[in-house]
Chains A and B, each alone.
Chain A
């Protein structure tokens, strides 16, 4: 009887009730962390201010949770009603008590022997709706779990893992659908974005990010290159509820560094795409780099802001792209409004009036090697930026480095790398550096910079406490004054941080969590 009572209490305490209305309301802030970016607009901002500039120096460890894994941990945890849902690489999920870090249950994914993921068998997070937790897997399945027990409710194959497809990004819940992207840009997949019925797992729609012959955009491909052209969708996008539009980024065309076999602009690679969320039909697109040959994916979180633009209220998208330029787009049309470099770049003279890069000569990969800023990993990458409605600043982790881009042989064979190059990603003795920058998104002007010795793989979080949290490869979690960039606190967590921070409230106390090394660390005020 005692067990039954205990089980009942456990079930009650795990009654995660995320509704689509609650997800929409997350735009106004709250005490949980309900979606990958904290709200649909991609802000990674919290209205919590219990931890603020005056007391941040008193941050102290509340708990740590160690994961039984040797893979990189890139997860963003979600917190719902006192429960933290964390994806563990390669494709497991654990439910923790958000106050203590003690586990309730774990879902262990049984994976095939051979999994090909370009950059490690990672997972960046889960999605929650009602009593269900959703996770994408590196063998390209989408799985719905019971939030109370971790048991599998449905498990659907999104794509064939043996041809290089993998899911590493966090799904996004919109209405009663699970929006799910795909990875495989280094394996010559044909990219897509999917929507699934959250109740049944049945696919509602699929948008192919590379049009087939005869469709608009197919003129930007020749021959059969579209079949192996890449354009994956492996980072969680944003949702514009007023327009019913998903705004999502697409990755590089394949093969990455040898564009000879794919002449043309290669739509819709390296693009922002806007899709009607009910039908998956495209409303607009903006391609950051036509015919990219440097692997500069547009897999960044779009930041959706309604603001004055040249004296008129306008729906905007802010986007710091991997190629080194910060863009402002019109969210209703996709029209380019403004762009400016936010880091050193040597490949373009600038952007023209339509936002297209004016590419400089001799900047393509070559057999002897071409030195270009930014490097292969870009001036920024998949780790999240942040926008604060208080400072109206755009925050991002940046890299200042260069690579040698070499063009190499390429040959497509299903399931194997299809990259066409041998780049030297980091130059020995010239590793570059990185840090956190605050930009005025209306002008692209740099307001402040927090420089690091190394190049960070950690995203940033801003809060109403006028703080910006970030992390480093060196293993430091730090918090900065959101207005000045002054460091207020830091802690060495002893492991590389390749994840985004979140904040939430448990038992009335604001906490901040981030993955570092193979663990989740959570801090509060002492």
Chain B
């Protein structure tokens, strides 16, 4: 029994040590070396700026398979079972440099300097909440923004406010057509295959149609959101950005 206790203590101790391991290679030179490795080995799936692609975005500071330095080291070294993520056959020092580079992407992100409370007020008064939901409150005509601060950079958020059509996710493209009865329908294109289309219509209903029954089928890849370029002062824009940036997973 004593041996068992000792073994358990050792095991728990090792676990704690593993979790608390921090990156010993975080100098600017390490980050630069990590960037080079990232571009030759990781970018094909995760994107040149780690913005995501075949693999997830690594620049937002959110990691779905563990977010400690030790977790990231393990995932890079061993791969992630059940995914396409392979392991790297590099020594630990070199993988730590990669961890340093990945961390630098979110650590260096610009933080907005406005007032979050004022931004929350603007969010309501400028009509944003009519289309966007934050933690269950608001409309459904646009993306749910409950965790948008963790998923998007400040620059990207700003772009979405001043030029909403610059980057529109496919599920917010608008599909328009006439149904079999000749009625014009419109909604967000949630999904589409060769034969059917799935949409969220303007009444908030989920609908599926057989494409063969539709006329004048067209997809508009522009955003339905108006630009706020001339509607907000520079200070108001900062306040709104600060509020949105503060929206993180609970």
CA distance A117 to B83 in the complex (A): 12
Provided the pairs A71-B82, A408-B43, A424-B53 are in contact, do residues A413 and B193 lie with their beta carbons within 8 angstroms?
no
Write the B85-120 contact mask toward A (1 if CB under 8 angstroms, else 0): 011111000000000000000000000000000000
Across-interface contacts of A411 in B (CB, < 8 A): 40
Kindly list chain B residues whose C-beta atoms are within 8 Å of the C-beta of A454.
193-194
Q: Is the Cβ of A422 less than 8 Å from the Cβ of B44?
A: yes
Inter-chain residue pair count (beta carbon < 8 A): 74
Q: Which of A410-453 contact B (CB under 8 A)?
A: 410-411, 413-417, 419-426, 429, 451-453
CB closest chain-A residue, reference B221: A429
| Main SS at interface, chain A | loop
Nearest chain A CB to B132 CB, angstrom units: 22
* Minimum C-beta distance from A498 to chain B (A): 12
Instruction: Tell which of A52-60, A108-116, A337-345, A507-515 binds the partner.
Output: A108-116
Partner of B40, one of A410, A414, A425, A490: A410
How many of A's residues come within 8 Å of B, CB to CB? 38
Interface residues on B, range: 20 to 34
Would you give the shortest CB distance from B144 to chain A, in whole angstroms?
21
Residue of A with least CB distance to B44: A422
Contact call B79/A115, Cβ cutoff below 8 A? yes
Minimum distance in angstroms from A301 CB to a CB of chain B: 24
CB-based nearest A residue for B192: A453
Which residues from A are CB-within-8-Å of B88? 416
A60-100 contacts to B, CB under 8 A, are 70-71
Q: Does A523 contact B (CB under 8 A)?
A: no
CA distance A384 to B33 in the complex (A): 42
Q: Which of A114-157 contact B (CB under 8 A)?
A: 114-120
CB pair B40–A420 under 8 Å, yes or no, is: yes
Q: Output the nearest chain B residue to A453 by Cβ-Cβ distance.
A: B194
A378 and B77 CA atoms in complex are apart in Å by 30
Interface class of chain B by DSSP: loop
Residues from chain A with a CB closer than 8 A to the CB of B86 are 114-118
> What residues on A are CB-neighbors of B40 within 8 Å?
408-411, 417, 419-420
CA distance A429 to B168 in the complex (A): 9
Interface string of A461-479 (1 = CB under 8 A from B): 0000000000010101000
B54 at interface by CB-CB < 8 Å: yes
Chain A residues closer than 8 Å to B195, beta-carbon distance: 476, 490
Which residue of A416, A419, A429 has the most chain B CB atoms within 10 A of its CB atom? A416
A114 with B84: in contact, given A453-B193, A453-B194, A472-B194 (CB under 8 Å)? no
Residue among B41, B82, B87 making CB contact with A114, cutoff 8 Å: B87
Is there an interface contact between A416 and B82, defined as CB atoms closer than 8 Å?
no
> Contact check: which of B39, B83, B89, B194 meets A414 at CB < 8 Å?
B89
What distance in Å separates the Cβ of B127 from its nearest Cβ neighbour in chain A? 27
Q: Are A423 and B44 in contact (CB under 8 A)?
A: yes
Q: Closest approach, in angstroms, between the C-beta of B80 and any C-beta of chain A?
A: 10
CA distance A413 to B36 in the complex (A): 14
Chain B residue with Cβ nearest A255: B40
CA distance A70 to B90 in the complex (A): 26
B155 close to chain A: CB less than 8 A: no
Beta-carbon contact of A413 and B39 below 8 Å: no
Q: Nearest residue in A to B54 (C-beta to C-beta)?
A: A425
Q: Are A416 and B194 in contact (CB under 8 A)?
A: no
**Cβ of B220: which chain A residues have Cβ within 8 Å of it?**
none
How far apart sit A406 and B192, CA to CA, in the bound complex (Å)?
30
**Distance of A520 from chain B, by nearest CB (Å):** 19
Most interface-central of A71, A417, A429 (chain B CB within 10 A): A417
Nearest chain A residue, comparing its CB with the CB of B38: A422
Contact at A474–B84, with CB atoms within 8 Å? no
Point out which of B44, B53, B193 has the most chain A C-beta atoms below 10 A from its C-beta: B44
Closest Cβ neighbor of B87 among chain A residues: A114
Check A19 for interface membership: any CB of B closer than 8 A.
no
Which residues of A lie under 8 Å from residue B18 when comparing CB positions? none
**B48 at interface (Cβ–Cβ under 8 A)?**
yes
Is B78 interfacial (CB-CB < 8 Å)?
A: yes
A420's nearest neighbour on chain B, judged by CB, is B40
Contact A413 B194 (CB under 8 A): no
Q: For the complex, is A218 an interface residue (Cβ under 8 Å from B)? A: no
Q: Collect the chain A residues with CB atoms within 8 Å of residue B81's CB.
A: 70
B82 neighbours in A (Cβ, 8 Å): 70-71
Q: What distance in Å separates the Cβ of B164 from its nearest Cβ neighbour in chain A?
A: 15
Confirm or deny: A162 has a beta carbon within 8 angstroms of a beta carbon on chain B: yes
> How far apart sit A453 and B198, CA to CA, in the bound complex (Å)?
14
A423 partner residues in chain B, CB cutoff 8 A: 44
**Known A-B contacts A454-B193, A472-B194, A474-B194; A422 and B39 likewise in contact (beta carbons under 8 Å):** yes
Note all chain B residues with C-beta closer than 8 A to A406: 48
Nearest Cβ distance between residue B53 and chain A, in whole angstroms? 7
Q: What are the 8 A-B residue pairs with the smallest beta carbon separation, nearest first? A: A415-B89, A70-B82, A114-B87, A474-B193, A422-B43, A453-B194, A116-B86, A452-B194
* 5 A-B pairs with C-beta separation under 8 A: A116-B86, A117-B86, A408-B39, A423-B44, A476-B193
